[in-house]
Amino acid sequence: MQVRAGMGVGRLCGGEPAMESDVPSNLLSNPSMMQPSSLVLADPQNEPELQSFSQAVHVLLRLLLAVRYRKNLVVAVMTAAILLGAAYYVTATRRYDSKAALLISQAGGDRLDPSIASGELQRQNVMPTFESMVRSAKVLEGALKELSPTDCIDRHGEPQKFSVDVLRGHLSVKTIRLTNILEVGYTSTDPQIAANVVRAVVQSYLNFMDSIHRGTAGEISRMLTKEREDLAGKLSDKQTELLKCRRQFADMGFRSDAKALHPMVQRAVYFNDALIAAQKDRVENETLVASIETAVARGADLISYLPAVVEGPGRELMLSELGLGANDVVTQANLQRELIDAKTQLETMQQNLGPRHPEVIALTEKVRLTEQFLQNAQLKIGQQTTGNRQLGPRLAQMARQKLEESRKKEEKLQQCFEEARTEAINLSGQLAQVEMLERDIKRLSGLNDVLLNQIASLDLRQNGPDVRVAVIEEATVKESPVSPRLPLVAMITVMSGFGLAIGLVTLLDALDDRFRSIDEMQSRLGLPLLAMIQQLQPPESTGPMALVTHASPMSMESEGFRTLRTSLALTQPDANRLVVSSTEPGDGKTTTLANLAVCCAQGDKRTLLIDADLRRPGLTNLMNMRGPRGLSEVLRSEMDVAQIAPSYVRASGVSGLDILPSGSRPNDPAELLGGPRFAQLLAWAETVYDMILIDSPPLMATADTAIVGRLVDGVILVVQPAKNHRRLVTRVVERLNMMKIPVFGLVINRTGSEAEYGYYGYHEYGYRYEYGEGYGHDAHVSKRDADGEPCVSSVGGFDNAEEPCVRVIPRRVA
């Protein structure tokens, strides 16, 4: 609702003063309008999602309303579906199935790539082949041969005619996902026959696979045998040639790459090793001679050179001559080692123990005594060797003699090595041809062995093929049928019945483009219902007497307009400028507007009726005020509106009600209404009148109502359900909402007899009265009598405490 500066908060058609509120009262009075599509969203980014959700909710609600209205149709369709499903379940032929599971494994697969992806790819490529083989005519023909005559008669005694096509039609073969397992199944009217057929198919498939692999292995075996025979001839020729070469070259079979060398090569290697040892011995003897000569010249101790110069008994004899035995030398060597160990231990103990510790003292004394003993022994040996001047020359002579012997030995070994090396070099060329023949023989022998192994493995595969098939689940007899299944039939029956019912409801709803109930109208349009107007008799005259609220204010037909007045007073207490329009011409908007104006005037409100339908002025014609003076002249005039408007307003003949007729028909009605003078006219009227009611053209015909709607507080939409199409009315309301023009609510017009309009579900309640003396035929409920029953007064809807109470008897009126 639009609130303007200077607009007071007054009464609406005699209502009580309204309280100001930030929330429009039409939202408070109609919770159905408080929906996501009619609210201002706080987050613009979420607006499309909320609008989509709101539209989905509206569609669902409309569907539910349509189903509710046509619930009898839904119940009938569901009942028919259930009956058909029950009949099918009772009369359908029972079918039984039996299944067996086969494990397919390949012994010759790719064992070098154990990845999961490789196994899955192999399974996807191979398993469909095995499925097709089970369905093949070869396997099915073998299965037919496996079936016994008893398998051709079912449990009811009916004969069964089996053929390849019949078996294939009832046979199911599928691979269990992510496995190498084939599931073979068969359906039949007899569970025993289903199990026997599955067993026969499985056995035929096993026989077929066995025959395939046996035949393939035999063919390959014959090819490999022929190839091996050719290879054996080549191998025999090579072996003969090798024997001839060995005899020619006196070859003993020694090769350079073997552990055992040829004798000639071994001889060269032996002399080479001996020569190296002789050279090493010569060098050592030369060093020994030089060392002894140096020791003699310096007068050093020569006892240490005795073991190197003199060996065996000669060394013992010479030590005896010097007064020393072999044990003395060993003893001195041991004492030397013990002395070194004792000194090392003494240093360690001195770091941890004091110098006066008993163990330190004992170890120090042991070191001193050992050193003293060794010194005395050296002095003794020195005295003996000094007295014997012949030891030095003798040792030097013996060393030089030993050196001369090592030189002669080296020369002889060098000569022998040169001869053996020459013979070995001449031998290598002769053995090359022999080695080549040996390599060829080795290669041919290896290939021959491979062929022998392949032939042997093929012979074994005839008993164990590469593709192995194992039965991991035998076919069993199942007494429970697989068709029809009660849960499945029930589910399909309910779903199909409900789907068909929804489809029929949707189709009928699309074909019947009418509002079927008030709830549907309010839900689809998002607007409250303000009042329902009964079918009125065509007026016999024009002017005020053509209005039922003025001609028969106490009639039941007038009650609908007073209800409209009361609804506006309660839902829009601050609104004093209203536009009444409709979707199409002939909906009764002008009659509704005129009677509402009379009701407002009867409520002591100064009311102005403006005929803004400048194209087809229905209000002007109804009130018999045709003429050149009217709204169009006020809007075209250049005079001040406040000065010229009063002269164009005419009295209606009803107290408190004035009318501004349309005047002459202009060429540009939309431009006149959209100009500033019409807004000035409304501003002037607000200062003079309590209520301003405007009649405008139908919304689908022109844009005049949209222009006027922006200048008033709101729009009242008159709907004739029997005439207006639902999509048309919905489009009109959506257009008004899009242009931000408030729509206060709906007025349902021309609700006739129940026989005619009961299909749409429009009903209202009237009253049959029992009057006392002096009262008319109709009354308005205002209070209750002493017994608590409703009672009314006869004064046009306003309480009068002084008037006697009249008992009210309700009755339903279409």
For CA atoms 347, 348, 349, 354, the dihedral sign is positive
pLDDT on residue 600: 93
Average pLDDT over residues 775-792: 40
pLDDT on residue 517: 75
Determine the longest span between alpha carbons in the chain, in angstroms: 188
Query: What is the radius of gyration, based on Cα positions, of the chain?
Result: 64
Give every CB contact of residue 358 below 8 A, 6+ residues apart in sequence: none
pLDDT on residue 460: 53
Q: Could you tell me the CA-to-CA distances from 759 to 76, 331, 424, 730 in Å, in that order?
A: 19, 141, 127, 20
pLDDT on residue 736: 92
Is the pLDDT assigned to residue 288 strictly greater than 60? yes
Average pLDDT over residues 784-789: 43
Is the pLDDT assigned to residue 401 strictly greater than 60? yes
- Please tell me the least confidently modeled range out of 136-150, 231-245, 461-475: 461-475
Would you place residue 766 in the very low, low, confident or very high pLDDT band (cuts 50, 70, 90)?
Answer: very low
Task: Give the 3-state secondary structure of residue 614.
Answer: coil
Buried b (16+ CB within 10 A) or exposed e, 703-724: bbbbbbbebbbbbbbbbbbbeb
Give 509 or 608, the one with higher predicted confidence: 608
Q: Please name the amino acid found at residue 371.
A: E
pLDDT digits (tens, 9 = 90+) for 345-384: 888 888 777 777 888 888 888 888 888 887 777 666 655 5
State the CB neighbour count (10 A cutoff) for residue 277: 14
pLDDT digits (tens, 9 = 90+) for 109-134: 444 344 444 455 555 667 888 888 89
pLDDT on residue 271: 82
pLDDT on residue 780: 39
Is the pLDDT assigned to residue 763 strictly greater than 80? no
β-partners of residue 26 are: none
pLDDT digits (tens, 9 = 90+) for 27-84: 334 434 434 333 333 455 666 777 788 778 877 877 887 788 788 999 999 999 999 9
pLDDT on residue 327: 63
pLDDT digits (tens, 9 = 90+) for 247-270: 766 555 555 555 566 677 777 788
Contact 503, 75 (CB under 8 A): no
Average pLDDT over residues 558-570: 92
pLDDT on residue 678: 92
pLDDT on residue 601: 93
pLDDT on residue 596: 94
Is the pLDDT assigned to residue 680 strictly greater than 90? yes
Is the pLDDT assigned to residue 770 strictly greater than 70? no
pLDDT digits (tens, 9 = 90+) for 299-353: 666 666 666 676 656 656 665 555 555 566 667 777 777 888 888 888 888 877 7
Strands (E), 625-672: 650-651, 657-660
Give me the percent of the chain exceeding a pLDDT of 70: 72
Average pLDDT over residues 430-455: 76
Q: Could you tell me the CA-to-CA distances from 62 to 124, 233, 498, 642, 736 in Å, in that order?
A: 50, 95, 17, 50, 21
Q: How far apart are CA 13 and CA 198, in angstroms?
A: 89
Give the range with max mean pLDDT: 146-150, 379-383, 475-479: 475-479
Is the pLDDT assigned to residue 218 strictly greater than 70? no
